[in-house]
Amino acid sequence: MKRTRAVSALRWIAVVAVFAVGGTATAYGITRLDREDVPGLAAPTERLWEYPRLSAAPLPSDSPAPFADEDDPGAHHADLRALVLPAPKGAVEDRALRGSEGWLATDDFLAEYAEPDRAALRQTLVDTGLRHVAARGWTTEDGTHTRVYLLRFGTAAVADDLFHQQLARQGAPGHRVRGAERAVHDADFPDASGIAEIRRSVYDETRPYGAEHVRQAYLSAGDVVAVVLLSREGTVDTVPFVQTLALQTQLLA
């Protein structure tokens, strides 16, 4: 029953998030609604995080939106660092993930993965011409540790191939995240991101969990691949995971 309620909340949040960020419109925040107005939020632990108001990242003069660029489809002309979801209210930010001037070293991203997968993924990123990594991380009051990584490549075709062939394989992720060596495709999570141009694949750690429960998701959004990881001692709540993923998806649209 709890799973059904969570999926209902997921669908509702995804719909709301479609209106949260668009063009230069400002988002007024999902969490400004009362709990009784949100279907599926019966359990007190399944609470929404209060994110700051979000707006689309500014584009250079005369630059099109990523999926409106006929000459270079899927190209994000906005600063990649402006496309990363900010931390919610009350969270303690992991300043180390800001990197140097907002750019994270590739090895710092790769530290999320277990060996020998880490070495294999490192070579793949070299071969595919990874350009930049921008990231943000935070820990909320309930102990959930969130990390969001955006990886930019030379073309949308390269990013999409990495997503399908290396990261988001059917059944299980292509590379094992540290602490979640046993993870499978989350069949309860809809494959559709709500945006036709953005692909999504979501995985959940299988029981018994390690020291922490880890949930992970991958997005293919034009020339950008997003990696979203949430971990927590006990269980990662479904609703904030869905909310975080939905809002990051919107920022990449």
**Alpha-carbon distances of 139 from 106, 129, 190, 249, rounded to whole Å:** 22, 31, 26, 20
More reliable by pLDDT, 37 or 138: 138
Does residue 246 carry a pLDDT above 80?
yes
Look at strands 92-93 and 198-205 and give their pairing: unpaired
Q: What is the pTM of this model?
A: 0.86
Phi, psi of 197 (to 5 degrees): -85, -10
pLDDT of residue 11: 47
pLDDT in tens, 127-146: 999 999 999 999 999 999 99
pLDDT in tens, 144-178: 999 999 999 999 999 999 999 999 998 999 999 99
Does residue 30 carry a pLDDT above 60?
no
Phi, psi of 183 (to 5 degrees): -135, 145
Residue 225: which of 249, 192, 190 has the closest Cα?
249
Residue 148: which of 118, 104, 203 has the closest Cα?
104
Does residue 17 carry a pLDDT above 80?
no
Residue 242 parent element (H or E):
helix 238-252
